[in-house]
Amino acid sequence: MKSRIIELQEKANQLLQMAQDMDKRIDMLKSWTELTYMPKWYIEQKENQLDCCQRGSKRLWSAYLQVLTQIKLEL
């Protein structure tokens, strides 16, 4: 049982790191889409990437919370 909790904690830590990294990428993409001197196609490309990253971030945070719930249930 203890090893299961340790595995879940490691998984939670990985998901947390991935979610935080994705949020940093979202912030970077937002700053790029605010640059008005860039060509329209470039801004659209970054907006598409931003949308994808926002959906990915939401999934990562959700998975992180699910693992935390699993840990709590194991205790």
Cβ(64)–Cβ(16) under 8 Å? yes
| Statement: residue 1 has pLDDT above 80 | no
Instruction: Give the pLDDT confidence of 60-69 residue by residue, as tens digits.
Output: 999 999 999 9
Angle at 18 (CA atoms; ends 45, 44), nearest 5 degrees: 5
The structural domain count of the chain equals: 1
Instruction: Give the pLDDT confidence of 5-18 residue by residue, as tens digits.
Output: 999 999 999 999 99
Rounded CA separation 14/59 (Å): 14
pTM: 0.86
Cβ(56)–Cβ(22) under 8 Å? yes
Residues of the domain holding 65: 2-74
